Structure 1
Amino acid sequence: MPPAPRSRRSYDQYCAAARALDVVGDRWTLLIVRELLVGPRRYTDLHADLPGVSTDVLASRLKDMEREGLATRRRLPPPAAAYVYELTDRGRELLPVLQALGTWGAPALQERRPTDAVRAHWFALPLLRSLAGLGAEGVVQVRLPEGEFHVRVGGEGESYGDGPAPESPDVRLTLDAETCVAVGRGVLTVGDGVRAGSIDLSGEGVLAKALRAS
């Protein structure tokens, strides 16, 4: 029986990296994953937080992600009655991939270009990675001039989300985007930022103490 025709281009290489790029190598796909790692998102929310993507391309990429088992689409119950996209377990496995890409690309963030869009939660991935080795767990709420996001560090459920944390955070950080980039790159610790006055930290408990001592 002849092989089934492919609906997308493939590298046709028996290589794990090539197979992965067959699925996520198209332009915008990994950035859509970045947005869905925040949690379920409506199409309009995705389009708003992916400046530069056309509606046709976004719709096409989402369909590809559904077909490849990276994302699903479901209807919210009333009164919302809206459709949202969310990652499958397979899609969420891309979290460390995006963190590694962010670490590799962080040196390119030396200066913000006038044309650069920015969203606060885009800083969550590198920050989550930089806080992973603290030996403490909990929820950190971060406030930047551009907005707020939160990260859950330690334990088995590391994650991040846009906006305030749904529960009372263990730690609150207030800093600017450039300082957040420095912490994410590992060139500045939260403790050093607190001592230098570039980071405001509030909270008690094991996680707050670990951050102050870093």
Structure 2
Amino acid sequence: MPCGPAVSVGGPTITAVPPPKRHPYDQWAPDARALDLVGDKWTLLIVRDLVAGPRRFVELQRVLPGISTEQLRSRLNRMVADGLLTRQRYREVPPRVDYELTERSRELVPVIAELSRWGFTWAWGPPREGEAIDVGAIFRAVPGLFIGSDVRGTVELRVDRRSYCLALRPGAVELTEGTPEDPPDATVAGSEADWVAALGPESLRSALSISGDRSLADVVLDAVAPVSARPSIHAA
């Protein structure tokens, strides 16, 4: 059962090899070439925050606290030049410009998911003083995870009044933001504080409200915050 309209990647033809960076690693190695493109601050987070579909400049500013207007403009321009994003301008008042992932950058989604999983294992902890909290940022890494070859269904994750919908099918996960068009198979709801407790190191899920298919909801929660992946050193 779909959660909402599927997002397709469109735009101009992308060159096979992006233009060279101004400050490259200067190593003839595929990982160094990849880091030339995505190793700058904010780049991977911009990809993560476009997973659910295109966003306007001001929407990216909202989900990327800490980035200045000039930093965001510069990074988006570079990512368009590198073939990681397309930019669509609309003749509207006020002017509207949408940024969307290309096929090239969509292939980074599993990389971001694995980076998130690594972060849960080796870098996770309670929110630090001064850290912005956006539970949706954690959800946006889920489409790159392999949740299971036989898992099907839709799960709505509700944080206060904001909804995120995951459509699961064998080997793939699709994320849409906003209230689902059709009733989901399961809904997990809670306040921002409830979700921080559930996704934190102690994985305290008791405050979350789960309705519908409980087993499906548990599979998603275990995938979003894999407690079993965390080493015992976190208990020290």
TM-score, length of structure 2 as denominator length = 0.71
Indicate the RMSD between aligned Cα atoms, in angstroms.
3.1
Counterpart residue identity of residue 133, structure 1: G
Counterpart residue identity of residue 109, structure 1: W
State yes or no: 1:122 paired with 2:137.
Answer: yes
Counterpart residue identity of residue 51, structure 1: P
1:76–1:157 distance in 2 versus 1, CA, 3 Å? farther
Counterpart residue identity of residue 114, structure 1: E
Deviations 1:110-142 (A, max 9, x none): 211231112231121455566712722222110
1:46–1:63 distance in 2 versus 1, CA, 3 Å? same
For the 8 Å contact 2:144–2:173, the answer to whether it is kept is no
Farther off after superposition, 90-99 or 148-157: 148-157
Choose the corresponding residue for 2:210, options 173, 197, 201. Answer: 201
State yes or no: 1:24 paired with 2:42.
Answer: no
CA distance in 1, matches of 2:52, 2:35: 22
SS in 1 for 2:55: coil
Deviation of 1:165 after TM superposition, in Å, equals 2.7
CA distance in 1, matches of 2:101, 2:195: 27
Deviations 1:61-98 (A, max 9, x none): 11111111110011347688621000011111111011
- Give the match for residue 14 of structure 1: 28
How many residue pairs match? The answer is 198
SS in 2 for 1:38: coil
CA distance in 1, matches of 2:54, 2:70: 20
1:156–1:104 distance in 2 versus 1, CA, 3 Å? closer
TM-score, length of structure 1 as denominator length = 0.78
Choose the corresponding residue for 1:74, options 70, 88, 92. Answer: 88
1:67–1:120 distance in 2 versus 1, CA, 3 Å? same
CA distance in 1, matches of 2:96, 2:102: 19
CA distance in 1, matches of 2:198, 2:181: 22
* Structure 2 residues without counterparts, runs of 5 or longer: 1-18, 223-236
* Structure 1 residues without counterparts, runs of 5 or longer: none
Deviation of 1:211 after TM superposition, in Å, equals 3.9
State yes or no: 1:88 paired with 2:97.
Answer: no
Choose the corresponding residue for 1:153, options 168, 190, 206. Answer: 168
- Give the match for residue 162 of structure 1: 177
CA distance in 2, matches of 1:112, 1:157: 30
Choose the corresponding residue for 2:155, options 110, 121, 140. Answer: 140
CA distance in 2, matches of 1:171, 1:87: 28
CA distance in 2, matches of 1:81, 1:97: 34
CA distance in 2, matches of 1:126, 1:61: 20
SS in 2 for 1:30: helix
Percent identity between the two aligned chains: 34
For the 8 Å contact 2:149–2:170, the answer to whether it is kept is no
Counterpart residue identity of residue 212, structure 2: G
User: Which structure features the higher share of helix residues?
Assistant: 1
Deviations 1:151-193 (A, max 9, x none): 22224652223332344322211242235425xx8x86xxx95
Counterpart residue identity of residue 150, structure 2: G
Matches within 5 A, 1:46-61: 46-61=60-75
CA distance in 1, matches of 2:197, 2:37: 34
